[in-house]
Structure formats: structure tokens, C-alpha cells
Structure 1
Amino acid sequence: MIKKIMLVILALATIYFIWDTILKGNSVYYAKHSSSSNVRDLELMMFTENLDHLGKKDGFKYKHKIQENYKTVQNVEKNVYFTYEFYENAHTYKYRDDKRKNYYFDENFKLKKVVDVGNNRQYVDISTVDENKIKEEIYENFKPILEELENNEPYINLQWIFNRVYRDRIK
């Protein structure tokens, strides 16, 4: 009986290790190699959601507040921020550029609103904003980290598990 309990505990610990370390730690690599029609968006989502599992890089600052359910990475040189929040069962993302404009994205990484903080927090009409250009700017500002993560092949390739777990986001 004790052997069975120990085996179950060992199996659960192994599954947790694989899930936590390999899958989340290599999520950007898996996103890059997924069948998604919009790999860049999926990479950016995985990048911010799993910041606490990714290696740190010089020139970038990281904040992770478990109680407040958010994670932020800052490109110190360019003074831009990219944030992931999980609030009321929804994923949201925010990008703050160097002109102090906040771009808010929903759980599918679609632009929902823009607030110009530097101009008395005025809302900007999102129809005047080129969403793809903003996403490309985000990618470029965090490219040193993203390129390294994209090319960091995992010891055990769990692409099929990633594709299964994130199938709703891979479109």
C-alpha cells in the first residue's frame, strides 16, 4: 500500500516537473513551432504569461506579483513595458510605449483600447491605431529575449502536449 502511494506521489511530481519546467519554460519555442496562423501573437502571449519560468536577461527588469496576478517585463534602455494579467478568469495584456501610451489587448491578443497617459489619460480611437504595427513594435522591443527563447530547443520536445493544451489559442 505504501509503495503504491509513493509511486503515485512520484508520478505526480514528475508530471508537475514536466509541466512546470519543460512546457512553460519552453513555451516561446513551442509557440514559434506551432501550427498557429499568427505565431508572433502566440509567442508574445506565452512570453509574458511564463515570465517567471524564463531566464533573466541583462537590460530587462522583471516584476511578478502573485497576489495581484500580474507579471511585467521592462526594456530598460527603451523604457517600454509589457504586462500580463489574469483577472476574473481572463487573460489580458498591456503594452506601454516610450510615449506613455497604454495599449490594452484581450485574451486573444486583439487590441481593445488605447489610453494616452501622457495626455491626461485620454482615450485614443483604436480605429486610428495600426494594431499590427504596435504588435511588431512590441516584438522588436523584446526581440533579444524572444529570439533566444525561440531558438532554445528543449531537451524533451513536448510540442504535441503544448499544441493540445493551447489548442484554443492556436488558430
Structure 2
Amino acid sequence: MKKRIIIGTVISISMCFIFIIANLYIDYNLRKYSVYYAHNMEHKEGTHPEMAMALDNMRIIYKPNKKNIRYREDGTFIIYKNFTDGEQVIMSCNRGEKELRYIYYDSLEREYYFNETFKLSYGHDSSTGEDEIDIKTVDQEALYKDIYKDFGFIVEANVNRKPRINLQKEFNKKYYKRFN
């Protein structure tokens, strides 16, 4: 009788351990290959899931070493792009607030705030002293081109990194509503 209890206990503990490891791997896979999955997911026009996923998961995705690029992790994730004359372009992902926000600081002292789908939601211009930029007057296509010119290398470095186990369906279940 004792033998059966011991064997049953060992099997139960082993099954729990396997279940926990499988769930951790699924979460790890979805985060590590999130840019690849976002690229292959249908999304609404005007959203940029690849950049959003790259910034959300910067701690785990591949970050290429490039000249004049510096990464900082301390609660929020910040990418600095330094120019030779001391100007900086900064991209950050802020998780400390109620909702997820992305912030792009350009070299002209303007700040652009994006929502969780990476759609422009707010702007601020420090150089003119204006508190708010009317986002209707912003050429959003040109802004997104500037962002991808400065930080698109992160998306490019991860968009073709195929996972060994493709969990595209799981990714779509988790993020489809966010980007549609």
C-alpha cells in the first residue's frame, strides 16, 4: 500500500512539474518570437503590432549591437540613439501607468505618445513651449517613417526569427483584439 502511495505521489508531482514547465515555455515562446508572430497576424490599418511587440518584449527579444545605440532597462525600457552633435532620439515603453504607453522623443524636442496599438494619441513640443500638438496636424506617415528609420532595425532583426514550435494561433488568441 505504501508503494502505491509513493508512486502516485511521484507521478502527481511529475505531472504538475511538466504542466508548469510547458506553460512557462509557451509564455517564453510568445514573448521571444512576438515580433515574428505580430508580423504574421492580421491587424487593422494604422496599428503597428511589430514595433509594439518589439518594445513590449525588449528584455527577451534579440537586440542587435549597433553603433550609437544604447539600451536601458530599469522598470521601463528605453533605447537611446545618439547623434554626433549630442542630440538624442529616444524610444521608450512605459508600463508603470494604468495603460501601456510608448514614447518617441525626436531630435527637435518633440515628444509623441502612442497607445498600446502603437497609434499616435498625444504630442508635446518643448521647443515652442506649446503644451500639446494637435495630432490631426501631424503627418503620421512621416512620423512612423522616422521612427522606423531610427528604430526599425529592432523589428528587422526579429521579424524573420522563426520559432522552433510555431504558436501563431496562441499569439492570435492573446493579441488579436488589441490590434483589431
Q: TM-score, normalised by structure 2?
A: 0.82
Change (3 A) 1:83 1:121: farther
Provide the rounded CA distance (Å) in 2 between the counterparts of 1:139 and 1:14.
Answer: 35
The 5-angstrom pairing of residues 37-76 of structure 1 reads 37-38=44-45, 41-59=48-66, 60-66=69-75, 70-76=76-82
Q: 2:30 aligned with 1:23, yes or no? A: yes
RMSD: 2.1
1:140 maps onto 2:149 in alignment: yes
Structure number, greater radius of gyration: 2
Separation in structure 1 between the aligned mates of residue 146 and residue 124 of structure 2, nearest angstrom: 17
Give unmatched runs, 5+ long, in structure 1: none
User: Structure 2: how far apart are the matches of 1:120 and 1:170?
Assistant: 34
What runs of 5+ residues in structure 2 fail to find an aligned partner? Answer: 1-8
- Aligned counterpart, 1:2: 10
One-letter amino acid matched to 1:72: I
* CA apart distance, 1:2: 3.3
Distance 2:96 2:73 in 1: 14
Cα deviation, 1:4-62, whole Å, max 9, x if unaligned, reads: 12321232122212312x21111111111111134861111101000001122222221
Q: Distance in 1 between matches of 2:119 and 2:80?
A: 21
Q: Given residue 111 of structure 1, which amino acid in structure 2 is its aligned partner?
A: L
Equivalent-residue separation in structure 2 for 1:125 and 1:28 (angstroms): 30
Who is 1:124 aligned against? Answer: 133
Distance 1:160 1:41, change over 3 A: same
Partner residue in 1 for 2:119: 110
Distance between the aligned counterparts of 1:55 and 1:121, measured in 2?
A: 38
Alignment length (residue pairs): 167
Matched, 1:159 2:165: no
Q: 1:150 to 1:168 in 2, by over 3 A?
A: same
Counterpart amino acid of 1:153?
K
- TM-score, with structure 1 as normaliser: 0.86
Structure 2 match to 1:12: 20
2-structure distance, mates of 1:30, 1:36: 11
Query: Which deviations, in whole Å up to 9, do the C-alpha atoms of 1:84-114 show, x marking residues without a partner?
Result: 1124441111111111210011223232221
Which amino acid is 1:99 matched to?
L
Residues of 2 paired with 1:39 and 1:75: CA distance? 25
Shift of 1:121: 6.0
SS of 1:52's partner is: coil
